[in-house]
Amino acid sequence: MLKIDGRKYHKVSRGETIKKIAEAYCVGEYAIVRENGLTGEVETGQILRLPKERGNCYMVQAGDTKSVLCGSEERYEKINGPYLFPGMRVRL
């Protein structure tokens, strides 16, 4: 992890995906996409800004809902984006 002007950055290594990077820093995949304005997968050597996330990291289980995890669908989507599926790491 690089740290410049108090912000955290990550240089993408060969074979890394947004999912792997999100898991390594325990941030939502959508938060990385949103923070960097990504429209596709990352490329080797690309520098990504890591989002300033607050809250606990949680791995979604079968049966979890957006409302149960974050109190409301709107709050969940603001923090984690529109997706929710088992095995996904999200912020609470």
Residue 7 has pLDDT above 90, yes or no: no
Phi-psi region of 16 (alpha: psi -120 to 50; beta: other; left: phi over 0): beta
Full domain range(s) for residue 19: 1-53
User: Is residue 17 located within the same domain as residue 42?
Assistant: yes
Model pLDDT for residues 8-20, shown as the tens digit of each residue = 899 999 999 998 9
User: Is residue 7 located within the same domain as residue 36?
Assistant: yes
Task: Say how far apart CA 30 and CA 51 lie, in whole Å.
Answer: 10
User: Is residue 49 located within the same domain as residue 60?
Assistant: no
User: Is residue 59 located within the same domain as residue 90?
Assistant: yes
Angle between helices 29-36 and 73-80 (to 10 degrees): 60
User: Is residue 77 located within the same domain as residue 41?
Assistant: no
Q: What is the pLDDT of residue 74?
A: 95
| Alpha helices per DSSP H over the chain | 18-25, 29-36, 66-70, 73-80
pLDDT band at 5 (very low <50, low <70, confident <90, very high): low
Mean pLDDT in the chain?
88
User: Is residue 29 located within the same domain as residue 69?
Assistant: no
User: Is residue 5 located within the same domain as residue 49?
Assistant: yes
Model pLDDT for residues 20-49, shown as the tens digit of each residue = 998 888 788 888 999 999 999 999 999 999
User: Is residue 46 located within the same domain as residue 73?
Assistant: no
Give how many domains the chain has, as a whole number.
Answer: 2
